[in-house]
Structure 1
Amino acid sequence: MNRTTKINVLAYASRPEMDINYFGDIVEYQGKRYFVSLSEEVVEFRGIVKESGIVSDMENLEARR
């Protein structure tokens, strides 16, 4: 992921109305799902959000949480 995308996802996740866990949470941004930790400024791509709301990813997201 490029630096601009990382900054945009961090900025989106840090908005007050997002109400995410500061130490790590899943965020949907522009049709993609990311793990975001605002405390460590970490962004990891987790998958693409399908229209049905199911994540297309090789890993089980619940197992990693």
Structure 2
Amino acid sequence: MGLAKFVKEKRNAVKLTQPELASKAGVGLRFLRDLEQGKETLKMDKVNQVLSMFGYELGPVPKSEQNHDK
């Protein structure tokens, strides 16, 4: 599962709107929208601010064959 889908599903699971999650995570609404839309260039510290709301953080993961095609 990609990061964008993960964040959107977690946000929906806790019944938060994008503006509510952005406010609680301390990031801008535009940043959260970009994150959920899969923008490829985002600041990792801000991504971690959002992920920390769900008990997660960014970390290295092995590349899959699917990621090699990008």
Q: TM-score with structure 1 length normalisation? A: 0.32
Structure (1/2) with the larger strand percentage? 1
Report which structure shows greater RCO (CA 8 Å, sep ≥6).
2
Q: TM-score with structure 2 length normalisation? A: 0.30
Larger radius of gyration: 2
